[in-house]
A and B are shown apart, each in its own frame.
Chain A
Amino acid sequence: MTRHFAFFISRSLRNKVSRQLRRMRSPRYAIAALVGVLYFVFIFGGWRSDDDMGGTWINIGQMAGPLMLALLASWWWLWGGHRRGLILTPAETHLLLPAPLTRSQVIRFKIMQAQPALLFSAFFATLVTRGTGLPWPLRLLSIWVLLATLHQHQIAASLVHASADEHGRRGIRRHLVPVMLFGAAFMTLIVSLVRAVADVRAAGSLSATRERLAGLLSETGPRIVLAPFRVLLEPALATSATAWLLPFASACVVLVLHYLWVIRTDAAFEESAAEEGEKRAALVAAMRSGGISRLGFAQRDRTKKVARPWLPLHPTGRNAYAIFWKNVLYTQRSFRSARGLIGIMVLLAFVISLGGRDTGGGAPAVIGFFCVGVVVLMTAFGPLAVRNDLRMDLRHIEQLRTYPVRSRDLVAAEVAAATAALTVPQLGVAGIGIVLFASAGSYGAGQAVVLFAGAVIVLPVVNALSVIIQNLLALLYPSWVRLGEQDAAGMEAIGQNMIVMVGTVLLLAVLAIPPLVAGAIVGAPLSMVVGAGAVPAGVLAAIIAGAAEIVLLVLWLGRLYDRTDPVAAGLLR
């Protein structure tokens, strides 16, 4: 059977690679692949000295590596991460489960199937961790053993959970031992980390912080918890072949034990693996077609009733409003992780506060800075992530084209929906930041109002221009922008993303020229008379020029949408 599995896996790999190579005949994929390779060479090529980076990687690996692996394992055992250990794709469910294969054969197949990806990851990590002194083939081998053991450990967690689900109360008892063990280990680490946070603040310098953290993690409790993970990491962090040999042998023993564990565990994993596979297939399709927002929608809790729309929809009125309403509703129902977002913001604010004691103004100013950072990031990357516009709707072109909606109105509604989805939270964060700065005494209430009013005027225009650029690229070069369920992968996907990002920046720079010129023409002469008072007039002129650009671009996009041939663009077959 192993031979058959090997044939299946090698043939799948070969077909995948040959399909990607065949795509290189098309210049757009060839150029994208070339850009991807250049990017890869630039990032991992010889632009940094080996020695410097090698030492850094060893330090990071020794201190943070075991901790990260322990937290990862805790996630698998305690917080549902085990579900990703054994996943059967819909095709595997239909082909493998009805076949005369034992459970251990299916598990062996999944382990074998994972090896090319694990080897690729190990190769990638070997490139990144150059200069540790250990010859690269030994480092590659060590990292592969580490990844393979982790993979099998996750499968083991998955099987133990499946067995618990299968055996009811008896299963819960079986399940209790590893869960309690990992729970205790996790608590030990968390207690150490909480203690470390207080000490880190007092440490003063980075090296003192590192030493303090290392000291805390080498205390009895954390040391025992982290010991198995250190065994796995040790060969990869060895600095010479002689220092590598014994730790590598130990790591191999751990790997073999894991293999025997998973192969001999007879748990009915099929149902959960198939279910997880279906979920994953839906998520992948969601990510490919709609980005982060669609991912959120796909991950929603299906047992909950869908929320009522925020916006009303009357049966009569401008029909393009229905498109706007639909896309806003999409954002509303995709925005699932408000708590997660708030958690990240609080965490980041906390992290910043650790090093931000000298910023003046205390915590409000620190969080205010953080808010400004979030607004800047949302302005820069938001238009790439928020895709409730043509990038999402072009998949429905077969439906949209039959609607009696003027093309320019449709485009305007699409752009307006994405702009609103981006601008409203941005203004919320900007508002919090402005209030916090005001409360920290950075400026008065009047200035705060002026600043917020400025944000209300400027952000929608900037966002709309950015969103228009994304939609323009989607219409002009649908193959370059992720639409529908295209399966760009590997170097060409990296290259495509790079090209789209560079194209976006260049177009935004070009589009910024008319507003800047308009602002300068109005503001410069006025400044000679009223000084700084000319700034609002200049900004207003720039905004008007930007708004005019938006109108012209929407009209142009409408014509482009009309002319787009869905078959030639690959939107329809």
Chain B
Amino acid sequence: MIDVVGLSRSYGDFAAVRNLTFAVQPGEVVGLVGPNGAGKTTTLRCLVGIIRPTSGRIRIAGHDLLAEPLEARAALAFVPDEPHLFPHLTVGEHLSFTGRIYGIADAAARGEALLTELELADRRDSLPDELSRGMKQKLAIACGLLHDPRALLLDEPLTGLDPGAIRRMKRTIRDRAEKGAAVILSSHLLGLVEELCSRILVIQNGEAVAMGTLDDIIASRPGLAGRGLEDVFLALTERA
């Protein structure tokens, strides 16, 4: 579903992402972890077409992101860490707008269901500056999920959410994966990653330092036996 081969991205002499190769299958949730400045956000931005890779190939739902950008983008959704909302559109209008962008005939019904699921139904007529940080995040998530994306990329999706919303969001991510979406979840909340993700991609200085299930990663490094993700993460990134 998400195929990445030799992805690199440089800014002048600085290589933000170096030769990343990985794939995320339908139904799989992959955790993208790494310390600050490791290249996670750059990787995600390349994967959704916000920035062009310096080299490498990205395929989303079978469509090459550079050769068939519209088809690839129609199949994906990206929820950035900072919700990008249009200040003059109400909650309901954000969903109508997104529905038209993706050509969803039953956008109104789907939007209602999402607003109810994310507890935003009574804020339908509110503008973004009348919403709390968490509500903004929920709205950004609702817009991302409206077109039922086959590839879902989430950058710190739980920031600002209350405990109830975090629980619902985790369920939503699992549900989407069970329905066949390929999910990439970037987060510093290692507990969340450990709980939700079937595989983990650890990057450091733009390079993949480990990829696989937690057991795989530990198995390839006998010194980490019996440790949790946090210890594994620190051992991998501090060493690198």
Contact = CB atoms under 8 A, between A and B. Distances in A.
Contacts of A305: 125
Interface string B46-75: 001111100000000000000001110110
Interface string B7-48: 000010000000000000000000000000000000001001
A284 B76 CA distance: 35
A315 B50 contact: no
Contacts, number: 92
Contacts of B74: 404
Contacts of A322: 97, 100-101
Contact of B105 (A315, A321, A399, A567): A315
B70 A398 contact: no
A316 interface: yes
Interface stretch (B86-94, B158-166, B192-200): B86-94
Interface stretch (A63-71, A306-314, A549-557): A306-314
A269 to B, nearest CB: 25
Interface stretch (A92-100, A325-333, A533-541): A325-333
A399 B139 CA distance: 13
B101 A405 contact: yes
Interface string B80-106: 100010111110010011011111111
Given A326-B86, A398-B50, A401-B50, A319 B127 contact: no
Contact of B50 (A317, A321, A572): A572
A565 interface: yes
Interface string A288-323: 000000100100001001100100011111010110
A330 B106 CA distance: 25
A314 to B, nearest CB: 7
Contact of A315 (B51, B86, B96, B125): B96
B88 A565 contact: no
A526 interface: no
Contact of A317 (B88, B90, B100): B100
Contact of A314 (B89, B100, B129): B100
Category for how many chain A residues contact B = 35 or more
Contacts of B87: 294, 297
Category for how many chain B residues contact A = 35 or more
B51 A567 contact: yes
B97 A315 contact: no
Contacts of B73: 402-404
A478 B167 CA distance: 41
B122 to A, nearest CB: 14
A342 interface: no
Contact of A326 (B76, B78, B97): B97
A22 to B, nearest CB: 19
A297 B125 CA distance: 16
A334 interface: yes
Given A305-B125, A306-B127, A404-B71, A319 B101 contact: yes
A16 interface: no
26 contacts: A282-B129, A297-B87, A302-B130, A306-B127, A313-B93, A313-B100, A314-B100, A315-B99, A315-B100, A315-B106, A315-B107, A315-B108, A316-B105, A322-B101, A329-B89, A333-B88, A398-B80, A399-B84, A403-B101, A404-B73, A404-B74, A404-B101, A404-B102, A566-B51, A567-B51, A568-B11
The 6 closest A-B pairs by CB, nearest first: A322-B100, A404-B74, A404-B73, A399-B84, A401-B50, A315-B107
